[in-house]
Amino acid sequence: MYKIKVESSFSSAHNLRGYKGKCEELHGHNWKVDVCVASGKLDKAGMVMDFTCLKSKLGKILEVMDHKYLNELPYFKKVNPTSENIAKYIYGRLKVTGIKPAAVTVWESEKARATYYEK
């Protein structure tokens, strides 16, 4: 099995609905995003996929979230913008582009992260 990973980042604000604590208040993060794609075989160029293509597709997704109030984005009007749900959102948006990630990890700080993957 082969795995490739790319990292990117975005900045945004959010608040957690239904949460009792300081995170229920409006606050922001400089999010780091790690996308892993896996394959049992390589393409004819010897790659799982082109890093440039993966970075580009991830960048377009993150552009929609960068410097935004996440709670106001259509998806997060119904889904609480937790780190877990942000990872799932990015995973789903990548699937729509034809990429099936092995996992998407989102860091909200240097010591706190959430990962989403499907079996």
* Residues identified as active-site: 23, 67, 108
Residues 6+ apart with CB under 8 A from 50: none
Cα angle for residues 114, 108, 20 (degrees, 5° grid): 85
Torsion, Cα 44 48 53 56, to 10 degrees, reads 180
Cα angle for residues 18, 9, 114 (degrees, 5° grid): 45
